[in-house]
Chains A and B, each alone.
Chain A
């Protein structure tokens, strides 16, 4: 049975071994994120928010604890199974866009579909076009990424993240490389997607002005959740 909780973290720890010393990047994190929430993970650099994002995004595995995503325990999966989880359930939006260069917006958006196991090829183009339309890039589909502005590139990244209808969007400093006006537009897109499609959105940021746009904020310091706010 699927409950309305998208994400549940139970006693998550991540310990790196650096030479002889152990670095505890995360310690005993407990976190529940219901479907349709906008959550901001805040904290200074070195607080563990990148590590948390990597674990939430199934790019990394916790050293201890349980991570349940959409009712599936993903903390025990191997590399290749995690890749499939990322493909189906998680859409990434990065600070530096991370688009393929010299490739069109359409092809970038199609990229996750290329690796999906169950979506027939003939649907790819339509799905990518729809996704690009959602972020307001109609007519720019065949532009190469280097012909697009920063804001447009980030919108392509959002379209790519959305194309596979994931359970959540994971945005790591999505406005960090944009001017404040473009940044606001991107945040507006997130809100619109959240309202229209009920997509769970997790923003990782150290920028308080972006953070206040989220309905719920958690603050990390030295690998612990130190504060939680709702607005």
Chain B
């Protein structure tokens, strides 16, 4: 009795109860579909995060005033204000793994042009800022070193701000009001695109950090220093150099905690990717539970089916079916159900993730490995949950089975 012919017997048995077979397979269809759709959402989110960080450049480093490692002892506001523009200059001069440095400070403000106004963030940086951030301009120019030194009231617009204040008009040379102060527009940044989640990188204005410091915030320290290493693989060297330099400059005794924090983009990207991976696992895990429930459904129906067909099993045994023939017959039925369910579930899952990305605007990625895994898993669900009923059938006593009414 070969497997092909057993398959035929099983298919016919399933065909006799089409509605029941479909409802049984539905558990697997939904389970597999859910796994594929959920994992595609998770992987889409992960890819979006990775793409976003990659577009920022993997050789980026940030120096921030210390805001971690409080055990109730430190934590005065003084620790936030001791990062100065001079620190940035020192890093530029003394660390040879560092390429560009820009002090950075941010504020939010209402910006006005003519009868339009818009609330946006004001990013302060040096003239090196676009080089560090890989920014490009669609029009005009960035501010230069002299304008940074003189804290000139000039700015470059993000594409979203440009759209909101100027629509299709040319903003170059126009004067907008930021917190009622006049700022001359020098250029417009190329759109960096929405990258899901965090914040819109096109919705901001860039101005010299000195201007943001003195005119908008009224402080003499800076919030952070953005640094680019000479290359991506020099990032950790640059990090060490900065750390050593900063400890000397800030006179931190050996063994004492840093009052600053240096992080590099690849670490940040990695931790962000990790958190989206956790999301993926969580979603997939929940979906797996529904696949398990589908498996229990198969087991339930197979047990019913065995009971209904005890007489048939007895007949088959009386004409010479061995235990393994009966076992194989019922196991094949269960596996057929789960594999058909798996295939339909893949179709459902791929369709659902397509619809989610179309309608919901979520980036989804259906990977072949998740399809393969879901298919394999649904097959194993059939084997695992079909085995007990099939074994029960194969262990029946032929005399009892033939007598069964």
Listed in ascending order, the chain A residues whose CB lies under 8 Å from chain B are 54, 57, 59-60, 79-80, 83-84, 86-88, 92, 94, 98-100, 102, 111-112, 114-116, 121, 160, 164
| Docked-complex contact A84 and B322, CB < 8 angstroms | yes
| Docked-complex contact A100 and B312, CB < 8 angstroms | yes
Q: Cα distance A92–B1 when bound, in Å?
A: 20
Please name all residues of chain B whose beta carbon is closer than 8 Å to the beta carbon of A80 when the two chains form the complex: 322-324
Please name all residues of chain A whose beta carbon is closer than 8 Å to the beta carbon of B399 when the two chains form the complex: 54, 59-60
| Docked-complex contact A115 and B316, CB < 8 angstroms | yes
| Docked-complex contact B16 and A112, CB < 8 angstroms | no
Contact with A112, one of B312, B319, B322, B324 (Cβ below 8 angstroms): B319
Known contacts A60-B399, A111-B316, A115-B316; A83 and B5 CB within 8 A of each other: no
| Docked-complex contact B317 and A83, CB < 8 angstroms | yes
| A-B contacts besides A98-B318, A115-B325, 5 pairs, CB < 8 Å | A83-B317, A83-B321, A86-B318, A98-B314, A115-B1
Please name all residues of chain B whose beta carbon is closer than 8 Å to the beta carbon of A94 when the two chains form the complex: 402
Which applies to chain B's interface (DSSP): helix, strand, loop or mixed? Answer: helix
Listed in ascending order, the chain B residues whose CB lies under 8 Å from chain A are 1-2, 5, 9, 16, 311-312, 314-325, 398-399, 402
Q: Cα distance A100–B319 when bound, in Å?
A: 12
List the 9 closest pairs (A to B, CB-CB), nearest first: A87-B320, A112-B319, A115-B320, A83-B322, A80-B322, A115-B321, A86-B320, A98-B315, A59-B398
- 7 inter-chain pairs at a CB distance below 8 angstroms, sorted by A residue, are A54-B399, A59-B318, A83-B323, A86-B319, A92-B319, A111-B315, A111-B316
Q: Cα distance A92–B319 when bound, in Å?
A: 8
Contact with A102, one of B16, B316, B324, B402 (Cβ below 8 angstroms): B16
Please name all residues of chain A whose beta carbon is closer than 8 Å to the beta carbon of B319 when the two chains form the complex: 86-87, 92, 111-112, 115, 160
Please name all residues of chain A whose beta carbon is closer than 8 Å to the beta carbon of B320 when the two chains form the complex: 83-84, 86-88, 112, 115-116, 164
Q: Cα distance A58–B324 when bound, in Å?
A: 18
Interface centre among B319, B322, B402 (most CB of A within 10 A): B319
Please name all residues of chain B whose beta carbon is closer than 8 Å to the beta carbon of A112 when the two chains form the complex: 319-320
Please name all residues of chain A whose beta carbon is closer than 8 Å to the beta carbon of B323 when the two chains form the complex: 79-80, 83
Q: Would you give the shortest CB distance from A106 to chain B, in whole angstroms?
A: 14
Please name all residues of chain B whose beta carbon is closer than 8 Å to the beta carbon of A115 when the two chains form the complex: 1, 316, 319-322, 325
| Docked-complex contact B322 and A114, CB < 8 angstroms | no
Please name all residues of chain A whose beta carbon is closer than 8 Å to the beta carbon of B402 when the two chains form the complex: 59, 94, 98
Q: Cα distance A115–B1 when bound, in Å?
A: 5
Q: Cα distance A102–B2 when bound, in Å?
A: 23
Q: Cα distance A102–B15 when bound, in Å?
A: 12
Interface centre among B16, B320, B325, B398 (most CB of A within 10 A): B320
Q: Cα distance A92–B401 when bound, in Å?
A: 15
Q: Cα distance A115–B315 when bound, in Å?
A: 12
Closest A residue to B5 by beta carbon equals: A114
Closest B residue to A170 by beta carbon equals: B318
Please name all residues of chain B whose beta carbon is closer than 8 Å to the beta carbon of A54 when the two chains form the complex: 399
Closest B residue to A115 by beta carbon equals: B320
Q: Cα distance A79–B322 when bound, in Å?
A: 8
| Docked-complex contact A114 and B1, CB < 8 angstroms | yes
Please name all residues of chain A whose beta carbon is closer than 8 Å to the beta carbon of B1 when the two chains form the complex: 114-115
Closest A residue to B318 by beta carbon equals: A92
